[in-house]
């Protein structure tokens, strides 16, 4: 039997990210998920554009569901892989298992083919599943 589902908004509709943060991407604030065993996160993204177009590969949008014991060292949650790709105008569902105290969602943008300043609008909403006692 599953635990009660609690609504969750990690990235509000329609948040826009612009530019590159190559070392860590754009991260939500870590939240204490001690009372929860898993999450159901629906991620959507719009068109990914660049201020200056490049030649070669297209820019990319990657999402990570991460857990931490200390809010300093983050790693992918079990049930998801690092750098999940989400296609344009598509909603993807991620189901991370929450085995660590802290949880966050991280967005990574990469410029394609020498282009600059990628921009994207996205959101990440869903539910936390409470642990059964």
pLDDT, one tens digit for every residue, the chain (133 residues): 478 999 999 999 999 998 877 667 899 999 999 999 999 999 999 999 887 776 777 888 999 999 999 999 999 999 998 899 999 999 999 999 999 999 999 999 988 777 778 899 999 999 999 998 7
Q: Which residues of 41-80 are buried (b: 16+ CB within 10 A; e: fewer)?
A: bebbbbebebeeeeeeebbbbebbbbbbeeeeebebbeeb
Exposed / middle / buried, residue 86 (Cβ in 10 Å: 0-12, 13-18, 19+): buried
Domains of the chain and any CATH numbers: 5-130 (2.60.120)
pLDDT of residue 54: 67
């Amino acid at each position: 039997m599953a635990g009660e589902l609690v609504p969750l908004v990690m990235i509000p509709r329609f948040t826009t990210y612009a530019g590159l943060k190559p070392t860590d991407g754009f991260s939500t604030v870590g939240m204490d998920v001690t009372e929860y065993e898993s999450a159901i996160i629906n991620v959507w993204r719009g068109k990914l554009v660049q201020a200056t177009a490049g030649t070669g590969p297209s820019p990319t949008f990657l999402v990570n569901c991460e857990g931490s014991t200390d809010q300093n060292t983050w790693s992918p949650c079990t049930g998801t892989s690092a750098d999940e790709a989400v296609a344009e105008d598509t909603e993807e569902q991620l189901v991370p298992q929450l085995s660590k105290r802290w949880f966050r969602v991280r967005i990574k943008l990469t410029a394609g083919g020498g282009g600059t300043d990628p921009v994207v609008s996205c959101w990440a909403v869903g539910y936390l599943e409470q642990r059964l006692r």
